[in-house]
Amino acid sequence: MSKGPFARELNLVQNGCGVRTLPAISARLAAVTDCVLPCESAADVGADHGYASARLLAEKRCNLVFVTDISYKALSRAKTNLTQMGFADRVRFVLGDGITALQDCEPKPSAVMIAGMGAQTIVGILDGGGATLARLGYPILSLSPNRDPELVRHWLNTHGYTVSRERVVCSAGRWYPVLRADYSGGAVTESDPRPLYLGQTALPPLTDDARKYWTWRLGVLKAQLPGGEKMGCGTFGSLADRIGWVEGAIEDGGSG
């Protein structure tokens, strides 16, 4: 564990009535925390304000949360917020880069949350933290990229993780994917890019949220025409492929 100013145990601070005041949490962060099973400890990587950690602790999903961020300013904000909410005795703050910041944390977190970043950033964090994930015993991953979840699915498939739960949520007028992945140890052969791109939310029957999400996503894809026909060529299909896959998912009620 880091020996810096964020590694020490903080004093419990509550409001004047002795009652914890919790902020409203977004639908996205609620979905991210819902992926965490009851455990001794969890980690919130790139925690920013610390609200996801607060929900885990308020619902007693875990006894301790390691709150990490590469930004001293962001970690200071999370420290202030969580202390004011009365969780200081159940939080450890670690200033560091991604998952590698967890390498000395004890007890080892059983779940790691990463949200509010682009897919490429999340993949970079996972890549850089591979050795730490192994040392931690391959914790559950709860991930919510801002977009391009197929990049995250690809990393999970090729590093022994299996997506066990996936949903889409609308938060502040925008749609976000949320994935929970459990370690299985076996790499998945990606012979067909269609399921990699669509994921579980396109499987039949479509939920109301999934139908709204894919209808919105189809509009985004079609807005790239004309001129974008070659976009996305390669592992995850061309633009025309993606439009066809999404249209099929909506028409059939799933990816069939």
pTM (global) more than 0.85: yes
Instruction: Out of 173, 189, 205, pick the residue that ends a domain.
Output: 189
State the Cα–Cα distance between residues 7 and 104, nearest whole angstrom: 11
Helix or strand holding residue 155 (H, E): helix 149-157
The yes-or-no verdict on residue 255 having pLDDT over 50 is: no
Q: What is the mean pLDDT of the segment spanning 103-117?
A: 96
- How would you label 78-110 residue by residue, b for 16+ Cβ within 10 Å and e otherwise? bbebbbebbbbebbbbbbbebbbbbbebeebbb
The yes-or-no verdict on residue 74 having pLDDT over 60 is: yes
Q: What is the mean pLDDT of the segment spanning 111-126?
A: 97
Residue-level pLDDT at 190: 81
Report the side by side order of strands in the sheet with 91-95. Answer: 91-95, 62-69, 39-45, 111-117, 140-145, 174-183, 161-171
Q: Which of 109, 115, 78, 113 is nearest to 93 (CA)?
A: 78
Q: Are 151 and 165 within one domain?
A: yes
Q: Are 178 and 215 within one domain?
A: no
Q: What is the mean pLDDT of the segment spanning 216-245?
A: 81
Cα–Cα–Cα angle for 43, 48, 51, nearest 5°? 70
Q: Are 184 and 197 within one domain?
A: no
Q: Are 48 and 61 within one domain?
A: yes
State the Cα–Cα distance between residues 206 and 253, nearest whole angstrom: 5
Q: pLDDT tens digits, residue range 144-168?
A: 999 999 999 999 999 999 999 999 9
Q: What is the mean pLDDT of the segment spanning 128-146?
A: 97
Q: Are 101 and 167 within one domain?
A: yes
Q: Which of 188, 175, 130 is nearest to 149 (CA)?
A: 175
* HSE value, Cβ hemisphere, 13 Å, CA-based, for 240: 4
Residue-level pLDDT at 12: 33
Q: Which domain holds residue 49?
A: 1-189
Cα–Cα–Cα angle for 81, 87, 92, nearest 5°? 90
Residue-level pLDDT at 188: 82
Q: Are 225 and 182 within one domain?
A: no
Residue-level pLDDT at 102: 97
**Is 135 buried (19+), middle (13-18) or exposed (0-12) by CB count in 10 A?**
middle
Q: Are 143 and 209 within one domain?
A: no
Instruction: Out of 189, 204, 228, pick the residue that ends a domain.
Output: 189
The yes-or-no verdict on residue 17 having pLDDT over 70 is: no
The CATH number for 28's domain is 3.40.50.150
Residue type, 239: L
pLDDT band at residue 23 using 50, 70 and 90 as cut-offs: confident
Q: What is the mean pLDDT of the segment spanning 50-73?
A: 96
Q: What is the mean pLDDT of the segment spanning 202-223?
A: 95
Q: Are 179 and 200 within one domain?
A: no
Instruction: Out of 147, 164, 189, pick the residue that ends a domain.
Output: 189
Q: Are 130 and 63 within one domain?
A: yes
Residue-level pLDDT at 100: 97
The structural domain count of the chain equals 2
Percent with pLDDT over 90 in the chain: 80
